[in-house]
Chains A and B, each alone.
Chain A
Amino acid sequence: MKIADVLEETYSALSANKVRSGLTILGIVIGISSVIAMLSIGFGAQSSIESSIQSIGSNLIMVMPGAQRGPGVTVSAGRGSAKTLTMEDADAIKELDLVKAVAPEVSGRYQIAAKGQNTNTQVIGTVSAYSSVKNIEVESGNFLSDQNIASASKVAVIGPTVRDDVFGTDADAIGQTIRIDKTDFKVIGMTKAKGGSGFNNTDNMVYVPITTAQRLLTGNKYVTTINVEAQDANSMTSVQESITSLLLTRHNISDATNADFSTLNQADIIATASSITGILTALLGSVAGISLIVGGIGIMNMMLTTVTERTKEIGLRKAIGAKAKDISIQFLIEAIALTVIGGLVGIVLGWAIAFGITYFGVMQTKVSWYSILLSFGVSAIIGIVFGYYPARRAAKLNPIQALRFE
């Protein structure tokens, strides 16, 4: 049998029962499109979390007081309670090779009040380099200057959420006064809205000079975090190592396991987050994969029904000279045609769903070639696997009995 004839036979067989073929294809369409859409949500979440981690600064290493406890846990390890890091440590780190900028910070939650309105939020005392290290952009006014730090001015840069809370939406906050823990600060700038970034929302923060914060808010000389920006991504590990050895020396600690500080590499955070979103993606993908298998079983079911229904036709075909091979190829191609058509429609639909999810702002999605190839390959394999048994059954029919079948 020529391949063109096989395809023509397939077309006429499938179009003879359009509703049933359509419903069977629908099963595959749903399976494939959900695999693509689910994987796109997973990959989208992964890349949006990664970019959100990137947005808190690039090539960032955070040095925090407290013991090293392994990635993930260190984010909150002894934060603010252990007092081991000082401004002098930060200054020493600044002198290390491959370090681009250093921004120490002290932070704490305080009551902010202005004009009778008040809010409770994170106040960060820091230096001018903080804006470049942490990618903070200023919407209006200015960020803290070196002059502000040196003179311990009572000035503050606020986030847009703080402005909304204490001055009202769209109010001009520059030049106004806010009260932080019994001290008045003059607002000199407002940061650009960034949106929540997972770990802490930079829109809901108040920045003041670190010197002012130590003197008036915390009342001591310690810092809560030292943010270090490395020259480039490749130097991160070596910078992290040299910070560790520098601080061990400065704090007179000989055994690294007893370190009174910990360093957190941005790459580690991304790796941890990626492993979480990877599990999420696998979970979504496998749920969708189940629907793909259900679709495949639908194909097998339809093909088995078809073989029974067309027993007489199979008998006739064998009587007029079709070999077992001709019959099995015909039924196998019918099954594969169903999955391939379903696969193509499913890819388009899955893509459209992913596009829709992004377009209507539900969440970021990312359709990867990998998921398209995967689902198309899987659908073709499903056609072969679930079409094989019915096709064999058809091919093995005895022509005499098949012709007598009622």
Chain B
Amino acid sequence: MIEIKNITKIYNTGGSDLYALNNVSFKIEDGEFVAIMGPSGSGKSTLMHILGALDTPTSGKYFLDDKDVSTLTDDQLADIRKSKIGFVFQAFNLLPRATVLRNVMLPLIYEEVNRDERERRAKEALKAAGLDQQHFLHLSNQLSGGQIQRVAIARALVNNPSLILADEPTGNLDTQTGEIVLDTFQKLNAKEGKTIILITHEKDVAEHADRIIVIRDGKILSDEKNNKKRII
């Protein structure tokens, strides 16, 4: 379960304070599929960084599975990311000269999981992300965009996180491939019960989620259930 209370993030730019987030609060239950939507500069990236334990807020509280994450040190944040959060990035960020399997196993080397277990879990995650077994030993630069993003999703799944954070996961993909990736998220949410937060600036993309939080100028504009959920 995720709960943020009165989160404020202030960047000091050349003497004047910039409120990237201004007193933001919400709660996300386990198993929810939420889209956070907003134009660029709205504060959604800052929110993602805080939710992803990459950054800490200037003030306010962030509870992830009832643990206060808002005041941790860098190393403690790294531990949270390692065990509780899976990231899917717009730019995929796979290691270019490594195989699909090695890319997916990467988070587990920091958890000191042994080799056999690593491989087993990576294969499981790749299946859950919907990648064909024939690609497991390919290098990531031999795959198509959609396949690459599935590898990235598998990498986010492999440590069995409480929360999957997808930051514009379809931003670098064409519409058709993007639909396939979003379908993957929907299936993970429906079948595996994963909590997913999708950050996007596109309404079409956001409408794949069950709930849409719209953010603008560092404040929540609306937080509603999505009645027009798009299912592929």
Contacts and interface: CB of A to CB of B under 8 A. Distances in A.
Contacts of B79: 321, 323
Contact of A16 (B54, B81, B97, B111): B97
Contacts of B89: 316, 403
Interface string B55-85: 1000000000000000000110011011100
Contacts of A322: 78, 82, 110
Q: B55, B102, B110: which has the most chain A beta carbons within 10 Å?
A: B110
Interface in B37-54: 49, 52, 54
A320 B87 contact: yes
B149 interface: no
Nearest to A319: B87
B75 A324 contact: yes
A322 B82 CA distance: 7
A337 to B, nearest CB: 17
B109 A2 contact: yes
B109 A323 contact: no
B112 interface: yes
Interface in A1-29: 1-2, 5, 9, 12, 16
A176 to B, nearest CB: 81
B54 A319 contact: yes
A323 B55 contact: no
A321 B111 contact: yes
Given A12-B97, A400-B49, A323 B112 contact: no
A324 to B, nearest CB: 7
A214 B159 CA distance: 102
Contact of A319 (B52, B102, B112): B52
Interface residues of A, number: 23
B222 interface: no
B74 A324 contact: yes
B98 interface: yes
Contacts of B78: 318, 321-324
A50 interface: no
B75 A321 contact: no
Given A317-B106, A320-B81, A399 B93 contact: no
A232 B155 CA distance: 79
B169 interface: no
B107 interface: yes
Nearest to A16: B97
A313 interface: yes
Contact of B109 (A5, A316, A318, A325): A5
B38 to A, nearest CB: 18
Contacts of B54: 319, 399-400
Given A316-B93, A320-B87, A324-B75, A1 B112 contact: yes
B55 A400 contact: yes
Contacts of A319: 52, 54, 81, 87, 93
B97 A326 contact: no
B110 A320 contact: yes
A322 B155 CA distance: 14
A326 B78 CA distance: 11
Interface in B113-167: 155, 159
B10 interface: no
B221 interface: no
Nearest to A310: B95
Nearest to A315: B93
A400 B51 CA distance: 13
Contact of A321 (B55, B98, B107): B107
4 closest A-B pairs by beta carbon, nearest first, are A321-B82, A320-B107, A5-B109, A316-B93
Given A313-B95, A399-B54, 6 more contacts: A12-B98, A318-B78, A319-B93, A321-B110, A323-B110, A324-B74
28 contacts: A1-B109, A5-B109, A9-B109, A12-B97, A16-B97, A313-B93, A315-B93, A316-B89, A316-B95, A317-B110, A319-B54, A319-B87, A320-B81, A320-B110, A320-B159, A321-B78, A321-B79, A322-B78, A323-B74, A323-B78, A324-B74, A324-B75, A324-B78, A325-B75, A326-B110, A400-B55, A403-B91, A403-B93
